[in-house]
Every structure is written in structure tokens, then in C-alpha cells.
Amino acid sequence: MNNISTDIHKAKTILEQDNLVAIPTETVYGLAGNAFSETAIKKIFATKNRPLFNPLIVHIHSKELLDDIAEKVPQKAYQLAEAFWPGSLTLVVKKKSDIPYLVTAGKNTVAVRVPNHPLTLSLLQLLDFPLVAPSANPFGSISPTAAEHVANYFPETVPLILDGGICESGIESTIIGFEEDEPIVYRLGAIAIEAIEAVVGKVKVMNTEEAAPEAPGMLLKHYAPKTKTIIVDDIENFLKENSLPKIGTITFFKKIEHNNLVHQEVLSERKDFKEAAANLYQAMHRLDKMNLNLIIAEPFPDENLGKSINDRLNRATK
Ligand code: TXA
Ligand code: MG
């Protein structure tokens, strides 16, 4: 049985022994280990069944520590760190030589962020090493946004889950890399492009195919429920024309009127992107437990966090 607790001292002991602890962040739960321990890093890949070519994010407790992890950091990276850390922004910058290649999948760059969760920040302050932490789900499945999701995924193999409640943002961090010191978005996420651009001006957003070689984790199928999922512009009309058993839906604010619906998830009745993003994975986890034949989602407006939600919905259908 998993040990779910809020005891960061227990977490420290386990991490110091090269074992893993699931940690809460404001985005999703992470599966954490000592960033300098080869044993711990290997356990992360093995537990998640994650391919070794997919690099990990290094979590630190303060932006002042960025220069311990990275070098030749572009000016705009510092500006972004200043604006968004602690928070849901991951920077991909040139790694310092002592960062293990196992963390970076052999690349000379490293992904870094300061998560914005009080429990995890306190834990990081107690430790004398940073934590590498991918999302705490088996490779390819929906990221966990509650301690209970992690426990369901790994009933035996994770010795401790730190319980920090439900993740406030509920969707992974926005990942930004640099090309000739200019920011490029590798992964859409919890911080909207509009907010990034307000700090550093216009940024390039890579599409998934472009991002794949740069950010090797950006495989098309990802974040996916086990239940078949499709995206349909007009769900009510689609349901009228197709008679399908056991359906669940995901909409932004609209209620679907239909007799056959087993369950519907309305992500934000008040049409709030932040609330919708926070509810997205919670909704997917609930729907995925209902033995449905099909999950039908509608596309979100292509702006603000709507873009990030569409990115995750699209991956869920692949
Ligand atoms: O919100 C988040 O970012 C969560 C929490 C736990 O911090 N973490 C997370 O980690 O989503 P993960 O491993 O599921 O996704 C991290 C992605 C990888 O898919 C990889 O593509 C990208 O970060 N990444 C890591 N290091 C990179 C590097 N050196 N260059 C390019 N992309 C990198
Ligand atoms: Mg992940």
C-alpha cells in the first residue's frame, strides 16, 4: 500500500536513500528523485516505463539557483524566471557540466523550474540537492492532479506520496527553450502565451511535429485516457445523428441535452479558462473510470489557456 502523508521529513529521508517520492506541484503531481543520483533517476524511468530519450525537468526552490544548474542563460530567460517563478513555466537552457546526461537524455540543455506549491517548496529547501520530477503517471497516460490519482497508478512502487491536495492549475507547465537567445515555446501549458508575450514580446510556438526532436517528450499520443476519445464541433448534433451507447462529454460551459449521456463534464460554467484547465484532467480521470464506450469533447476557443486545453485534448484523441 502507498503511504500518503504530508511529512516532508519522511520524504527527505526517502529521497536521501535514492528512493522516489511523489510530490504535489501547482500543475500536476511529479515523481521525484535526487537529480544527482543515477540510481534514483533510473528508478523514475523504470517506474513510469518512460523511454530514456525523454528528458526530465529539474525542480529548484528559488530562481537564484538557476545558475547552479545552467550556464550562458539568455537575458530573456532571466526575465521570464523573474516574472513567473515560482510558477508553471519551465525553461530549457544550456546545462552545467555536472548535470547528469541521464536527466537530459544526452542533450546539452536542461529543463528547470521552480514549482509553486508550499509543501514541495519546503521540501526542496530541506534538501541539499534539486529534484528531477516527470509527471507521476505511467508513460502516456493522463497526468495526476490529486494524490489519489498517483496512488491508483502506482499502488506498490512509490514508497511515499506527499499529499498537497488538488493541483491548482491542473495542467503541465509551459516549456520554453531558446534559439539564438530568443524564446521558443516547446509545450503549451498552464501559463498562456499571451502572458509570456507580455514579458518578452512575440514568441515562436513550435507545432508538435517541430517540437518533437527538440522536446523529445512531445510525442503525439500523450495525456490519453484509456477510453476512446474524439473531438466534435457540435456535440448535440453529432449525438442526434449517431446512436451510440455509453457516452461521456467534455465541454467548456455548455450543457448537453441528450438522453443517452452517462456523464457530462462542464469544465467552467462561468467560461473561465483557468477554471477549465484546472478541471480538465480531473474530468478525464472521472470519465475514464466509468467504463464508457466513448468520450466526446468539444474544441475550445483558440486563445489564452484554450490553446493549451486544445493541445491536451488533441493528444488525448491520438
Ligand atoms: O508541470 C510540469 O512540468 C510537471 C511537474 C511535475 O513539474 N512535469 C512534467 O514533466 O510535465 P514531464 O516529464 O511529464 O514533461 C517534461 C517535458 C518532457 O516531455 C520533455 O520533452 C521536456 O519536458 N524536456 C525536458 N528536458 C528537456 C530538454 N533538455 N530539452 C527539451 N525538452 C525537454
Ligand atoms: Mg508527463
Tell which of 137, 171, 205 closes a domain.
205
For 126-155, the pLDDT digits (tens) are 999 999 999 999 998 999 999 999 999 999
Would residue 179 count as lying in a domain? yes
Same domain, 277 and 148: no
What CATH number corresponds to the domain at position 279?
3.40.50.11030
Domain that holds residue 139: 4-205
Residue 109, ligand 1, Cβ within 6 A: yes
3-state secondary structure 181-245: CEEEEEECCCCCHHHHHHHHCCCEECCHHHHHHHCCCCCCCCCECCCCEEECCCHHHHHHHCCCC
Tell me, yes or no, whether 157 lies in a domain: yes
Asked if residue 42 and residue 165 are part of one domain, the reply reads yes
Q: Does 187 lie in the same domain as 304? A: no
Does the pLDDT of residue 208 top 80, yes or no? no
On whether both 234 and 266 belong to a single domain, the answer is yes
161 and 18, same structural domain?
yes
- Looking at residue 242, its pLDDT comes to 87
The pLDDT > 90 percentage for the chain reads 87
24 touches ligand 1 (CB under 6 Å): no
Compute how many other C-beta atoms are within 10 angstroms of the C-beta atom of residue 232: 15
**Domain-terminating residue out of 205, 221, 256:** 205
Smallest-distance ligand from the CA of 26: 1
Q: Is 241 found in the same domain as 168?
A: no
pLDDT in tens, 39-81: 999 999 999 999 898 999 999 999 999 999 999 999 999 999 9
Cα–Cα nearest to 181, from 78, 106, 58: 78
Is the full-model pTM beyond 0.85?
yes
Tell me, yes or no, whether 188 and 277 share the same domain. no
Residue 210: pLDDT over 80: no
| Cα distance from N-terminal residue to C-terminal residue, the chain | 33
Atom of ligand 1 nearest to the CA of 104: 29
The CATH code of the domain that includes 154 is 3.90.870.10
Burial (CB count within 10 angstroms: exposed 0-12, middle 13-18, buried 19+), residue 89: buried
Nearest to 171 by CA among 20, 38, 304: 304
Ligand 1 atom with the smallest distance to the CA of 216 is: 21
**Same domain for 155 and 285?**
no
> Could you report the per-residue pLDDT of 219-274, keeping only the tens digit for each?
656 678 899 999 999 999 999 888 888 999 999 999 998 887 899 999 999 999 99
Distance 95 CA to ligand 1 centre (A): 15
**Does residue 220 sit within a domain?**
no
State whether the beta carbon of 92 lies less than 6 angstroms from ligand 1: yes
Count how many domains the chain has. 2
pLDDT averaged over the chain?
A: 94
Please indicate, yes or no, whether residues 122 and 246 belong to a single structural domain of this protein.
no
Ligand 1 atom index nearest CA of 107? 29
Q: Choose which residue among 23, 52, 135, 308 to substitute to test ligand 1 binding: the one with the highest number of ligand atoms within 8 A of its C-beta.
A: 135
Q: Tens digits of per-residue pLDDT, 11-44?
A: 999 999 999 999 999 999 999 999 999 999 999 9
Task: Give the pLDDT of residue 20.
Answer: 98
Whether residue 275 lies inside any domain: the answer is: yes
Residue 287 lies in a domain: yes
Q: Which of 171, 205, 239 corresponds to the end of one domain?
A: 205
Is residue 284 domain-resident? Answer: yes
Residue 29 maps to a domain: yes
- Do 170 and 96 share a structural domain? yes
Statement to judge: residues 171 and 311 lie in one domain: no
- Both 173 and 286 in one domain: the answer is no
Instruction: Give, in order, the Cα–Cα distances in Å from 41 to each of 19, 23, 172, 226.
Output: 9, 15, 20, 27
Q: For residue 258, is it within any domain?
A: yes
Alpha carbon of 59 to ligand 1 centroid (Å): 11
